Structure 1
């Protein structure tokens, strides 16, 4: 029997190692927001201005998610006579020029502007490897006055709200419709449940009963969505843990948590307004494409943030490790939160006053996630969420 030359074996080992390092080195972190509104629905700004803001503020991807609509076809927006919006229109016209801006003045002396479609504004801002715009929609439905909103990311056509005879049925019908859309077009699409505590419309029981859903907003930057809950309703963060306790016990996939802006207001800033820049996700992917980003998210390779940025996030040999990109005169609290098998209640398993920490997940734990809280105040907070934070996804013990 002929044997391989030892030098050849060593060569292939080195080559394999180099290829592995090359593959791993390709992965990078991309910052993005998957919940944004414009003049196409109830936002108060032109898509181009919104794209420019996010691109100029360090984001690499953005989804415009207007209610039950895509930026397509003809739509004329009548500009409010409020001086804020009149001045904003003048700035828009001065920035983009008469060749780009299509507007008219009607018989009542009102300025009307034809909104640019996704196909029109997209090439103006997208740059390969630098900035990506993902066509998306907020499917806006309800039941008995309760708002039920689900974002569909990377859609190819508008998805109509499906309705139903209960909160759960409305949610499931819309999720199933997104799944059909995904199958029809053969393209990566994700749906995520928006702000479950908005109007306290979606209960923990509703979330637990869902089928084939892995994403929801643990943080939403709108001032009226009750992330923190109240005396009668739990916070979305605590809801997240209870969902995963139930999911794991019922052999369902992990629920992942997003942070989003849900931005509507671009001219007034403060607690009363739904502003840009409050919450986002950081996705670790090999390329800046919708397919790559969605594939990474579906395997939990992302974290949510309202200001804290990580320099390291690894899970190897059942050890979850994090390190923070530090700011001067800022301290950090790193908490590992999870649940042990058979207990049914989440708890803080370990806590560190440090900018880096790690935690080994034991076999008797259902899951462990990490929450990092900064001593730095959020520059534009909502509710009682005063300090910048980040949340990793939950991790499970693997044999």
Structure 2
């Protein structure tokens, strides 16, 4: 029986793009079931790969490039998009994302949770404004920093000063000494406003805030997480307003908060926005299965990220789901499967180790989709997916 299969993964951060992941998954499926209809709808949520997804869905998009500071200051060229109608799209991960940190001789990222800055994305936004952009969409995700976006705003004219009026260095750790946030020289927001695409519903501070939820992923110890959380709270108190309470304000180390507070930017779900642009709902109509995926499946996957958005849309459409992840938190995977949200496969298990999976992502994505296709021929496996689909 010919089936309709939708392939809708996110990028596997720092390893393979969403487009290439979708192609590898499709080849794996078709190696077992060559006559099925396979639709490729790669996704993004504001993190790495968002520019590519928007460019594919936007006729007339023009690629631009600008020299910016990486997360710890190293200059590099970052891409951004100019869309028809003087609309610029900038991706934080492209400018100062965690994958741009320097690496050790062993290839490991030199994480800098207290010192990493969002300055580079502010430099890219300045370039877009200089090029005539009247509306800016900023894709937030994959950050290395927890600085409330004040590094980015500093590149646009904000002055972050200590109690004696001296400028503070970049990085979230320095904000614990903040005394004044001087916006007198801050560039005006673009005339058409700013939209923030976020991959989380986290607020700025507290148990559901940027530091506690994402600081450990950026290398922060327990003490450093506490330092960063207190520093963000101090910055919010100095800045005033209640934007720190907005869902999504904690995106990209609080960068969403900074632009919401100082430029009146509007926060919206990156996953939902890209799903609409790419026509994901239309693709799901009449589908038998959707395969989605990301680099790591954990408790945050269902809180604003691509996989969570695909799960929700598939549930509404009555479509069964399989999740392919580079790695997975065992508890999150068991919970997803127990609640009928879809089967979870990891490339690390297929390859034998995380290192092997990262070294050949195409091979193991192909293998994962082939395994899912083989399993669908077994009554138990397909029956389990079918029961999920019909719930």
Answer with 1 or 2: which has the greater Rg.
Answer: 1
Higher relative CO (Cα under 8 Å, sequence separation at least 6) belongs to 2
TM-score normalised by L of structure 1: 0.28
When the two structures are superposed, what TM-score results if normalisation uses the length of structure 2?
0.29
Q: Which of the pair is proportionally richer in helix?
A: 2
